[in-house]
Amino acid sequence: MVRVRTEALHSTRLQIVRKLGQAAEYRDNETGMHIIRMSKIAARIAQSAGWDIDACDLMLNASPMHDIGKIGIPDAILLKPENLSQQSGRS
């Protein structure tokens, strides 16, 4: 029973991470594709470093969270085509 509940909890956590990743993808399609590529590469690097299968799986599923902060960035900044610059009058 403990194992079943632990697996259910693990599955729920993965669903949350994936949904948050999808939310970031909705903001910027390039971010969504980057997240998929980056998470697969991170898991392969972990495997090459000798991590066990569970740790590699954790890396694959947790690494998409590295860009989650983009969800709260205004489109005017996130999608700005030119370089960002300091605003005058701010210190």
User: Rounded CA gap, 77 and 36, in Å?
Assistant: 23
Catalytic entry in 19, 40, 70, 80:
70
Q: How far is CA 72 from the centre of its chain?
A: 14
Q: Token pair for residue 1?
A: 């029973």
Nearest CA to 21 out of 39, 8, 7 is that of: 39
Specify whether 80 is catalytic: no
Active site residues: 70
